Amino acid sequence: MKEKLESIRAAALAALDGAQSENAVEELRVRYLGRKGELTAVLRGMRDVSPEERPAMGALVNRIKEEVEAAIGETLANARAAERSQRVASERIDVTIPGRRPLLGRSHPLTQVTAELVDAFVGLGFSLAEGPEIEDDYHNFEALNFPPDHPARDMQDTLFVEGERVMRTHTSPVQIRVMESQQPPLRAIAVGATYRHDSDATHSPMFHQIEGFMVDRGITFAHLKGVLTHAVRAVFGERSAVRLRPSFFPFTEPSAELDIGCFGCGGSGGACRICKGTGWIEVLGSGMIDPNVFRAVGYDPEEYSGFAFGIGIERIAMLKYEIDDIRRFFANDLRFLSQF
């Protein structure tokens, strides 16, 4: 019996040595270790072995069985590894095939610039407010200190709507609406579409503004300079040169236009196309809120002061991306939109 076991062992190990595939190994397992396998048959024959020999024989059978099982396991692992490497060697795909995906849609450049400006002011503690585009004369003009038949209204050529309404010519009526419904201290911005009766390469009948204001006790022109300088640098870069110069808006006094040093020529002017040689680019209008505006909303101008500012978003986007014609924003050409 012992010899038989040894010969089965030798045969099994030899057969395993030559086994190449997983299937071949599996067949050998069945042949030696299966229910009707050769080793199993020997094991069954144990009952014919004398009780004295049984422990030693049992140990031998188990050892051989374990040895064969281990050899099977090893051969199987080798066979599987060989098969995997064979599979890997035969598998090849074209990795340069483009990915299958939706093309990335883009938000409109005006939306991008708006979000940048809005986020800069929200970071400074300003909250966004909204108001209607179809406005009444009171909120769009009168409460903002534009008397009827005043030439200041020429600055804002108006689109009139039936029912004595206008398309808002600026976002400033939102200032009035916020102040009518809330008490200082206030820090608010408004953003949206505005309309003027004007159409050429630099004027669109519809355009967008962002407007902001701050009202509290003791707000000064120095604060206006501080906050706007800070905000403008957040958008145009920390190193931007900034200057304010006197201007006129009916709803602010003193009024100021804010210029930044031209990023086209670095402020040197010359034949620069962007700043037309002045070295400066106008980016926003601003000023201390006129006492008449405070009176219109029922604030005491001796108690409260504040400043307001307005920025033309198309203008900023045109400067930032060097866009030549304002009408490009509204043609929605995919070749244009995909660039932003």
Partner 1 sequence: MKLPLRWLNEFVRTDLDTAELCHRLTMAGLEVDAVEERGAGLNGVVVGKVTATRAHPDADRLTVCEVDAGEGTPATVVCGAANVRAGIRVAFARDGAVLPDDRRIGRAEVRGVESAGMLCSEAELGIAEQSDGIMVLPGRTPLGADVAELLGLRDTIIEVSITPNRGDCLSILGLAREVALVTGGRLREPKVRLKESGGACGDAVSIRIEDERCRRYAARIVRGVKIGPSPLWLRLRLQAAGMRSVNNVVDVTNFVMLERGQPLHAFDLAKLARPEVVVRAAAKTKAIQTLDGVVRALDPDDLLITTGDEPIAIAGVMGGADSEVSAETVDLLLESAWFAPATVRRTARRLDLHSEAAYRFERSIDIGGVASALDRAAAMIAELAGGSVAPGMVDVYPGEREADPIELRPSRATELLGCSVSGAQARKVMKALGARVDKGAGGALSVTVPTYRTDLEREIDLIEELARVIGYDEIPTELPSRPLMAGSLPERIRMERSIRQSLQAAGMSEAVGLAFASPDTNRILPGVNVAGRAVRLLNPITQEEPELRRSILSTLLAMWRHNRNQGATAIAGYSVGKAYWHEGVAGEGWRLGGVLAGEMPSIGLGARRAPELGDLKGILETLFEQRRVLADVAWRPGTEWKSLHPGKSATIELGGAVLGVIGALHPDAEVELDVDGAHWLFEIDLDRLAAHSTPAVRFHGLPRYPAVQRDLAVVVASEFESDQISRFVREWNRDLVEEVELFDEYVGSPIAPGKKSLAYSIAYRAADRTLTDEEVNGLQEHLVLALEKHFDVEHRQ
Nearer to partner 1, 5 or 188 (CB): 188
- Hey, how many other C-beta atoms are within 10 angstroms of the C-beta on 303? 10
Identify which of residues 15 and 161 has a Cβ nearer to partner 1 in the complex: 161
Binding partner of residue 218 among Zn ion, partner 1, none, CB cut-off 5 to 8 Å per kind: partner 1
CA pair distance 190, 211, nearest whole angstrom: 5
Q: Which does 64 bind (CB under 5 to 8 A by kind): Zn ion, partner 1, none?
A: none
In the bound complex, what is the minimum distance in angstroms from residue 271's beta carbon to Zn ion?
9
The entry of Zn ion, partner 1, none near residue 33 (CB within 5 to 8 angstroms by kind) is: none
Q: 13-18 contacts: CB < 8 A, separation 24 or more?
A: 13/67, 13/68, 13/71, 16/68, 16/71, 16/72, 16/75, 17/75
Judged by CB, which is closer to Zn ion: 232, or 262? Answer: 262
185 binds, among Zn ion, partner 1, none (CB under 5 to 8 A by kind): partner 1
Distance CA 94, CA 106 (A): 30
| C-alpha neighbours within 13 Å on the C-beta side of residue 283 | 26
Residue 255 contact partner, candidates Zn ion, partner 1, none, CB within 5 to 8 A by sort of partner:
partner 1
State the minimum distance, in angstroms, from the CB of residue 263 to partner 1.
20
C-beta of 25 vs 219, nearer to partner 1: 219
Shortest Cβ distance from residue 68 to partner 1 (Å)? Answer: 40
In angstroms, the CA 238 to CA 80 distance is 63
Q: Which is nearer to Zn ion, 242 or 274 (CB)?
A: 274
**Cβ nearer to partner 1, comparing 17 with 162:** 162
CB of 244 to partner 1, least distance (A): 4
Which one of Zn ion, partner 1, none is in contact with 116 (Cβ closer than 5 to 8 A by kind)? Answer: none
Rounded to a whole number of angstroms, the minimum distance from the CB of residue 322 to Zn ion is 12
Residue (of 266, 270, 249, 269) closest to 258 by Cα position: 249
Alpha-carbon gap, residue 259 to 245, rounded angstroms:
8
DSSP conformation class of 171: S
The Cα diameter of the chain in Å comes to 129
Judged by beta carbon distances under 5 to 8 A according to partner kind, the member of Zn ion, partner 1, none in contact with residue 128 is partner 1
Nearest residue to 156 via CA among 110, 115, 209, 118: 209
d(CA 55, CA 237): 90
Query: Minimal distance in Å, beta carbon 310 to partner 1?
Result: 15
Question: What is the DSSP code (8-state) at residue 252?
Answer: E
Which of 219/262 has CB closer to Zn ion? 262
User: Measured from the CB of residue 298, what is the shortest distance to partner 1 in angstroms?
Assistant: 18
**Residues of this chain that bind Zn ion (CB under 5 A):** 262, 264-265, 272, 274-275
- C-alpha to C-alpha distance for 129 and 218, rounded to whole angstroms: 23
Q: What does the DSSP 8-state code read for residue 49?
A: S
